[in-house]
Amino acid sequence: MMHDVRTFGAVGDGKTKDHLAIQAAIDACAKQGGGRVTLPPGTYLSGTIYLKNHVCLDIQPGAVLQASPDIADYNAPDFCPQNWSSVIEKTNGAHLVVAVEVHHVTLTGGGRIDGNRAAFFDPYTCTRAQFPGTRPAQMLFFCESTNIRIENLELTNSPYWTCFLHGCEDALIRGLTIVNDMKAWNSDGLDIDACRRVTVSDCNITGADDAIAIRGNPKRLRDPSRVCEDITVTNCVLMTNQAAVRVGVGNGSIRRCCLSNLCIRRAGVGIDILSTYRDSSVSDRTSRPKDYPDAGTDVSDILFDNIVMQTHMPFDLVSNHHEAPMAHSGKLLRNITIRGVRGYGCITSLFQGNHDLNLRNVSLVDIDLEYNGGEHIRLLQDGETCAQRFPGYRPYAIYAANIDGFSMDRVRLTWGELKGPWTHAMLTAHVKDLTLRNCRLPAPPGGIDCEHLETWNDRI
């Protein structure tokens, strides 16, 4: 059954608040067992709307669901136990479209969802730290729901993450165009957290933060044992200032993910896999913090294939996000394969586990990397250790440390126009079972091809 929101009082003039009429149409549709709720061409100013079982919200071409600038039109932060706000990231827990503990819900139609970011903050006049106010959280919030379809829509101007699936199962995301301002803080494209059986395809994502993030953070869910697993991503075009694809973050598990046929137009990091963000306030950098005995996400059985990327850092596979290695690990990163990549970079590609070799069985196959620039690359100064600098600024194209099983097959490195003091094509330390097959790793001009150090040295 089809329900036109205008028959429930929606105006679509961009001035009248239409969320009560839209919600009435959704509720009526759900009461009758499900069907389609249609937004014809027009601009529908809206606060939070809640999707219901067996309801398809059809935003037709020429229709815009635009977020209200009035925060009173949105859900309260505690509207469901899984929701949260963030003091650090200046979010108040409000969402534009919500689907919590529902099943068989669809967003589609060829129209647009506009988060109206400019109504809440201007990233050109202040930083996030300087921002004195608050802003809505994830524009689309799907939580512990099943049988989800989100397809053929433009999502734009999100004030925070654009589309967040948390603890969901059996989701299809297809044909989305996500466009956020390249200066807008935390403007992630797709965040898939503690979900099962999710397929993402044919999306074009542009924004300032992670384009696609696969996360393992189930602790706020009704079922905190949920694992993020069986995720596929294919045929997508990505552009971001941060990570094109991030895998990790949280205190759970991520496994069996396949990502292929990606065109990364521009990114700070092409492929970013990490177990944890460490607490920077911890003074002891050599031991696992006692307050976080299981810190991090266990990541296993991840495949990347057939990718072209223009990045600053092509690869960043680490136990701890840009922190020095610890003596012990809460979780493992293992069985990771990256193959069929043509990449461009200008800072170090990093593969770094903790001292207990928790990064295991990493394979690079058929990889072509071209390095240019390197203005931020510099040599270590007297008395300086690698822990005292951003690890991407080391003078090596590839740096690998604390790994049990590191294989490189047909990895080919070329040097372009360099502006930094590069010294090595590759430097490794504490790598057990290192295998190089048919690789071409020439030294930078005046440098050394590659070097393998059997004993740990704080200078590297």
Give Cβ neighbours of residue 446 (< 8 Å, ≥ 6 apart): none
Res. 367 pLDDT band, cuts 50 70 90: very high
DSSP 9-56: T---EEEEE-HHHHHHHHHHHHHTT-EEEEE-SEEEEES-EE--TTEE
CA 426 to chain centre: 27
How many angstroms separate the CA atoms of 111 and 42, rounded?
Answer: 10
User: CA quadruple 358, 354, 246, 426: dihedral positive or negative?
Assistant: negative
Residue 453 has pLDDT above 80, yes or no: no
DSSP 279-328: -TT---TTS--TT-TT-S-EEEEEEEEEEEEEEEEEEEEEEETTSPPPSS
Residue 431 has pLDDT above 70, yes or no: yes
Answer for the pair 297, 263: CB distance below 8 angstroms, yes or no: no
Residue 455 vs residue 142, higher pLDDT: 142
Res. 389 pLDDT band, cuts 50 70 90: low
pLDDT given for residue 285 in this prediction: 38
User: CA quadruple 385, 318, 123, 84: dihedral positive or negative?
Assistant: negative
Res. 272 pLDDT band, cuts 50 70 90: very high
How many angstroms separate the CA atoms of 91 and 180, rounded?
Answer: 17
Answer for the pair 338, 367: CB distance below 8 angstroms, yes or no: yes
Query: How many angstroms separate the Cα of 310 from the Cα of each of 229, 233, 258, 375, 391?
Result: 28, 19, 21, 17, 19
Answer for the pair 262, 307: CB distance below 8 angstroms, yes or no: yes
pLDDT given for residue 315 in this prediction: 98
| Mean predicted lDDT score pLDDT of the chain | 92
pLDDT given for residue 385 in this prediction: 64
DSSP state of 73: G
For residue 305, report the phi and psi dihedrals to the nearest 5 degrees: -150, 135
Could you give the 3-state DSSP secondary structure of residue 368?
A: strand
Q: Which two tokens stand for residue 164?
A: 């967040």
Can you give the pTM of this predicted structure?
A: 0.94
Residue 459 has pLDDT above 90, yes or no: no
Could you give the 3-state DSSP secondary structure of residue 277?
A: coil
Could you give the 3-state DSSP secondary structure of residue 142?
A: strand
* Short-list 135, 102, 302, CA closest to 216: 302
Could you give the 3-state DSSP secondary structure of residue 347?
A: coil
pLDDT given for residue 415 in this prediction: 97
Answer for the pair 324, 354: CB distance below 8 angstroms, yes or no: no
Rg (CA), the chain: 23
What count of other Cβ atoms lies within 10 Å of the Cβ of residue 117? 23
Residue 358 vs residue 384, higher pLDDT: 358
27-49 pLDDT, tens digit each: 999 999 999 999 999 999 999 99
